[in-house]
Each structure stands twice: as C-alpha cells, then as structure tokens.
C-alpha cells in the first residue's frame, strides 16, 4: 500500500514550482489530489486521481468552492497544503502600499482561507486531518528588500502554531515548512529583482545565494515535497505546531 493511498489532498498554488512538486509527490504516494491555482495544473500523465481547479487561493469563494469540489469528486478532504505564494524585491522606502498589500494578502490570507476551509470540512468529517502551510526561511530571518515577504511568512509560522493548539482536540495537525533557496521558475524573477536593487548582475545574485548553502546546491521542489509528504503521514501524528526547514544546513533558518 502506498503512503497516502485512499487519502485526498488539496494543494494551493499547485500549477508550478514547489506546488507542482507537491502535487506530483502525493500522486506518486497514492493520494487523490486537487490543485487550486489561477491557471490549470498540467501533469506529465493523465490521472483519474487528479483534479485541477482554477481559482484564486486568496479569494474566499474560490477556496470554499474548491474544497466542495474535492469533497464532491473524492468524498472528503484529509490533507490541505496551503502552498500559494508570491515574492517581490523592493526597499521599504521605494515600496508602494499596493505591493505590500499584494504580497501579504496572497501569502497570508490564502493560508488563513485554506486552513479555515479545510478545518471546517475535517471537523465535519470527524476523523481528524492534516494542514501544512508554506512559510519560508525568510520568515525566520529578516532580509533587506524583502520586508513584506519576510513579514508575511513570519506570520504564517505564528498562525500555524496557534491553529495547531486550537485544532488539537479535533485531532487535526497543523505544521508549516520553511524552505531555503529552492530552484523554481521564479528564481529568474528573484535574481532580476535583486540585481535591480543591488547593482549586481542576475547571475552574480544567483551564484551568491548558491554559495551561501553549505550543502552546495539549491534545493528542488522534490526536496520540499518529500518533507511535506512525511509531515502528512499518519506516523507523524505527534508532530504539530512546528516549522520544518529544508535548507541544506543554511542557518539560522
């Protein structure tokens, strides 16, 4: 029997990067998987155990409708992965309030909405469940030009810890993951952003971040997905309220 066979998982932001890696990992582990993203989630191969739901993870109606679609298609919801997020690079003194709101809304509000919808469904089912939220190493250490991103990801850690205590009587575990430097399609945008504010080239930015990782390489979506899958396993039932890092020994994450 596969690790998550017979369980249903929803992943927000599942169309690319870390989110797509998580979708693929849970499918490999035997789960039914629903991806909620602004664009369709395309898999390498068709799977009857997969549903791509197009919607906004930071919109209340979209999230509630996606959970309802998961229940209608697969009969329930066992695991929610609130992975959707965005990043931007700017000094505070040059940052528009609209940018601050966009980053904090998507990174934090989507976690609240996804967690709330999942918790409501899991409580109705009465068999417990697992919620795993996306924070970041940047949520555990401040960084110049990333104040909005750092603030939103730090808030996810505190929200996760609070919700873990609140939902423990329902046997719903809540944890978050705090990746370090993970190589995804977003890295080019990140490198270009830092190049703009630091005067370095994008290639210099990338190599500087790579050199900061003691393990000697960037992480991959598969690295993060393996940890998320493990956190969701029944054997991990005594782990709740934690922020789990995957960062190649980069400190102090």
Q: What is the 3-state secondary structure (H, E, C) of 181-231?
A: CECCCCHHHHHHHHHHHHCCCHHHHHHHHHHCCCCCCCECHHHHHHHHHHH
Q: What is the pLDDT of residue 251?
A: 74
Q: What is the pLDDT of residue 90?
A: 97
Q: What is the pLDDT of residue 93?
A: 97
Catalytic annotation present for 149? yes
Q: From the candidates 149, 177, 200, 238, which is the catalytic residue? A: 149
Torsion sign, CA atoms 222, 228, 229, 235: positive
Q: What is the pLDDT of residue 178?
A: 97
Q: What is the pLDDT of residue 188?
A: 84
Q: What are phi and psi of 172, to 5 degrees?
A: -110, 120
Over 90: is that where the pLDDT of 145 sits? yes
Q: What is the pLDDT of residue 252?
A: 60
Q: Summarize the confidence of residues 99-125 as an average pLDDT.
A: 98
Mean pLDDT of the chain: 96
Q: Domain tally for the chain?
A: 1
Q: What is the pLDDT of residue 35?
A: 98
The C-alpha atoms of residue 161 and residue 100 are separated, in whole angstroms, by 24
Q: How many CA atoms lie within 13 A of 252 on its CB side?
A: 4
Over 80: is that where the pLDDT of 253 sits? no
Report if residue 152 sits inside a domain.
yes
Q: Which of the four pLDDT bands, split at 50, 70 and 90, describes residue 98? A: very high
pLDDT tens-digit series, residues 42-95: 998 899 999 999 999 999 999 999 999 999 999 999 999 999 999 999 999 999
Q: From the candidates 153, 177, 238, 253, which is the catalytic residue? A: 153
Q: What is the pLDDT of residue 1?
A: 73
In this prediction the pTM is 0.96
Q: Summarize the confidence of residues 130-149 as an average pLDDT.
A: 96
Return the SS3 of 146.
coil
Report if residue 204 sits inside a domain.
no
Over 70: is that where the pLDDT of 110 sits? yes
Over 90: is that where the pLDDT of 235 sits? yes
Q: Summarize the confidence of residues 213-239 as an average pLDDT.
A: 97
Q: Is the peptide bond before 252 cis (omega within 30 degrees of 0)?
A: yes
121: domain CATH number is: 3.40.50.720
Report if residue 15 sits inside a domain.
yes
Report if residue 159 sits inside a domain.
yes
Residue 170 domain boundaries: 8-182+219-246
Q: For the residues of 74-140, what is the DSSP string, one character each?
A: HS---EEEE---------GGG--HHHHHHHHIIIIIHHHHHHHHHHHHHHHHTS-EEEEEE--GGGS
Q: What is the pLDDT of residue 221?
A: 98
Residue 9's DSSP bridge partners are: 33, 79
Catalytic annotation present for 238? no
pLDDT tens-digit series, residues 159-193: 999 999 999 999 999 999 999 999 998 888 899 99
């Amino acid at each position: 029997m596969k690790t998550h066979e017979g369980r249903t998982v929803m992943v927000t932001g599942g169309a690319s990067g870390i989110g797509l890696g998580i979708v693929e990992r849970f499918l490999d582990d035997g789960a039914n998987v629903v991806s909620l993203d602004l664009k369709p989630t395309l898999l390498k191969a068709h799977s009857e155990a997969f549903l791509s739901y197009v919607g906004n993870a930071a919109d209340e109606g979209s999230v509630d409708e996606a959970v309802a679609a998961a229940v209608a298609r697969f009969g329930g919801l066992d695991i929610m992965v609130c992975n959707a997020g965005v990043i931007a690079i700017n000094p505070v003194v040059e940052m528009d309030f609209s940018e601050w709101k966009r980053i904090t809304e998507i990174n934090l509000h989507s976690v609240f909405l996804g967690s709330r919808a999942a918790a409501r469904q899991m409580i109705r089912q009465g068999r417990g469940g697992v919620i795993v939220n996306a924070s970041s190493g940047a949520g555990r250490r401040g960084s110049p030009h990333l104040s909005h991103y750092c603030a939103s990801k730090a808030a996810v850690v505190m929200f996760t810890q609070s919700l873990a205590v609140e939902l423990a009587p329902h046997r719903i575990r809540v944890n978050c993951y705090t990746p370090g430097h993970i190589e995804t399609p977003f890295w080019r945008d990140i490198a270009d952003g830092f190049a703009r504010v630091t005067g370095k080239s994008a290639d210099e930015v990338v190599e500087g971040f790579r050199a900061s990782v003691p393990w000697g390489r960037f992480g991959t979506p598969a690295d993060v997905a393996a940890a998320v899958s493990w956190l969701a396993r029944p054997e991990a039932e005594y782990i709740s309220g934690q922020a789990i890092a995957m960062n190649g020994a980069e400190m102090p994450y």
